[in-house]
Amino acid sequence: MSASTMPHLATEKQISYLTDLLATRECDPDEKTRLADLIVAGELEKKDASAAIDLLKEAPRKTESTLSPMQRLLSTVPKSKYAVPTEELICSESEGDFSGDLVFIELKEFMGTLYVRQLVGAPGRFSRLRMTSRQTKDIMAIVATDPYNYAKLFGEHYSCCGSCGAELTDQKSRELMLGPECRKKFYK
């Protein structure tokens, strides 16, 4: 149900603004989780959204020093899909945790928090599996050395944009294995 059919539910503008505030302001983690769950379930009420917005507008902005070490590492890498050869994991403790020639991962942001998931299956039908902190740290430390190379490897393997998985429709995009919008993440 949408806000138009349920007038007591938060509007799209409220949800968008609240999501931005949750991403940029200091917030109690339990409250952030509660609000995120309500947003995802489509059950956030207008009055609760307004109260949360008012509270978060007064909250201090997040700074680099308030990020966890893992979030700091993840924030150095563009949000994208990546393919990492398992042979590059040989030096890490995660080596035996992955099978096959390549490990496919995705770095995404939700509600101001960056997440890494292992991708298993085929594009459009990927299963997203959680990885341990050690696996995430090991694989993202490798990706951080050359993010474009690992995104390109994903694109080459699946014949799509290495960042978002979309079809590549022009020659330059096929050469770089990145579409025009996704290139902006890697080439600023």
Residue pointed to by tokens 């991962």? 105
pLDDT in tens, 38-74: 888 889 999 999 999 999 988 887 766 666 788 888 8
Tokens describing residue 26: 């200091």
Tell me the pLDDT of the chain averaged across its residues.
Answer: 85
| pLDDT confidence band for 1 (50 / 70 / 90) | very low
pTM score above 0.85: no
In the predicted model, is pLDDT for residue 112 greater than 70? yes
**Residues 47, 54: Cα–Cα separation, whole Å:** 11
pLDDT in tens, 127-168: 899 888 888 888 999 999 999 999 999 999 988 888 888 888
Stretch (H or E) spanning 114: strand 113-120
CB atoms within 10 A of CB 27: 21
pLDDT score, position 3: 47
pLDDT score, position 64: 60
pLDDT score, position 4: 47
Cα-Cα-Cα-Cα torsion 122, 125, 130, 131, nearest 10 degrees, comes to 10
Domain residue ranges in the chain:
12-61, 69-186
